[in-house]
Amino acid sequence: MKKNWARAAAIGLMTVVFLFFFLRSVQWNQVFSYLKDVNIPLFILLVPLGSMHLVTRALRWRYLLIHEKKDVKFYNMFAGNAVGFTVNFIFPGRIGELIKPLYLAQKEGIRKGYAVGTVVVERIFDMLTMCFLLGVFLLAKPLYASFFNANEEAYRSLYFWGKIGGIFAIGLLLIVLSLYFFRSQTLKAVSFMLKPFPARVTRKVLALSDEFIEGLKFFHSWRTALVYAGMSLVVWLAIMFFYWIMLFAYHIHIPFFLLIPYVFLTGVGASIPTPGMVGGYDYFSKLGLTSLYAIDANLAVGMTLVVHAIQVVVTCIIGYVILGKEGLSLLQIKKMGESVKA
């Protein structure tokens, strides 16, 4: 109980701190003035585009599930993503990352540990893909330096967060590769650590650990891994397109390629485990818009609030419709993840 309170307090403090820096010195009359000056057709287009990542993520997921089950239904993969992100948006701690694979495992009769393993791979490739795109952007600096004048502080932030993200992603990748290619040694180590526990608990944890390692099986095929890496690019290019249209809706014309650092920074903010991405996402979005593209801070705040709201509302509506169709409540689905965490 104390641990839960401490975690809640830490998340609450992070949220407040990031919101403070996001909302500092905001002139709300200017924010509302900027928000009214929007291209309505493009703004409406943002609504369907806000759910596009659920489609591309579902299509990508198939390549990780193919070794377990070849005929996984697209709807269930789409629903798993929608429900998982809905839980992430409503509750702190990113418990939706567990809900997503457990929901699909239940619907498709897939081993739970296997499904969880695939999501770990997904998140690693998300980080690697964005770090790769950021690396391309930074290496290509001589090609666009004459017409793109971000301040040096912005570049320092990009180098810093790029290094952090790259090191973290590569570290996780090496860990999961070690788990897969040294499977027997890994299971022996898990068994050794579980010696103080009852035999029933040991058997269950070992079975889940074995299933989890099976979820990393796609690493055994370089062809599948390369195709999956390509699909990861598709996922993030689609997300970039969503933000590109958002900027066009507010009459800001930026070359598509130059959107990479902004999307990278929003990814950093979204990874902070606050409920609904509140605070972290908002601060990093504002930071990117103001420091990279010299956009007025009040406009940056307004656009961030709008694009954040679209993502959360669209995803949650889809998630609630799916849960309502199945007669499930959000609290019921949340307990599914909590039972595994426990």
pLDDT digits 0-9 by tens, 253-275: 999 999 999 999 999 899 888 88
Are the CB atoms for 283 and 22 separated by under 8 Å?
yes
In a domain, 167, yes or no: yes
| Nearest in space to 294 (alpha carbons), one of 167, 153, 133 | 153
Residue 27 DSSP SS3: coil
Q: Which residues of 172-196 are buried (b: 16+ CB within 10 A; e: fewer)?
A: bbeebeebbeeeeebeeebeeebee
In a domain, 101, yes or no: no
Token pair belonging to 231: 């699909």
135: which DSSP letter? H
Q: What is the mean pLDDT of the chain?
A: 86
Amino acid letter, 75: Y
Task: Give residues with Cβ within 8 angstroms of 59, minimum separation 6.
Answer: 74, 77, 231, 234
Structural domain total, the chain: 1
Task: Give residues with Cβ within 8 angstroms of 75, minimum separation 6.
Answer: none
- The more confident residue out of 300 and 162 is 300
In a domain, 108, yes or no: no
Q: 256, exposed or middle or buried, with CB in 10 Å at 0-12, 13-18, 19+?
A: exposed
Specify the pLDDT at position 95.
86
pLDDT higher than 60, residue 210:
yes
Q: How far apart are CA 193 and CA 191, in angstroms?
A: 5
pLDDT higher than 90, residue 92:
no
In a domain, 19, yes or no: no
Within its chain, how far is the Cα of 82 from the centroid? 12
Specify the pLDDT at position 246.
95
In a domain, 20, yes or no: no
pLDDT digits 0-9 by tens, 16-49: 999 999 998 889 999 998 888 899 999 999 999 9
Specify the pLDDT at position 340.
56
pLDDT band at residue 218, thresholds of 50, 70 and 90?
low
Task: Give residues with Cβ within 8 angstroms of 165, minimum separation 6.
Answer: 127, 130, 131, 134, 264, 268
Confidence (pTM): 0.87
Mean pLDDT confidence for 92-108: 89
In a domain, 142, yes or no: yes
Specify the pLDDT at position 255.
93
Q: The tokens 């039972």 sit on which residue?
A: 339
pLDDT higher than 60, residue 1:
no
In a domain, 237, yes or no: yes
In a domain, 159, yes or no: yes
70: which DSSP letter? T
Specify the pLDDT at position 86.
93
pLDDT higher than 80, residue 8:
no
Mean pLDDT confidence for 232-248: 95
pLDDT higher than 80, residue 224:
no
Specify the pLDDT at position 295.
92
Specify the pLDDT at position 152.
79
Task: Give residues with Cβ within 8 angstroms of 178, minimum separation 6.
Answer: 186
pLDDT digits 0-9 by tens, 44-76: 999 999 999 999 999 999 988 888 888 999 999
Residue 157 belongs to what domain range? 27-52+117-315
Are the CB atoms for 258 and 288 separated by under 8 Å?
no
**Cα–Cα distances in Å, from 193 out to 113, 127, 202?**
19, 30, 9
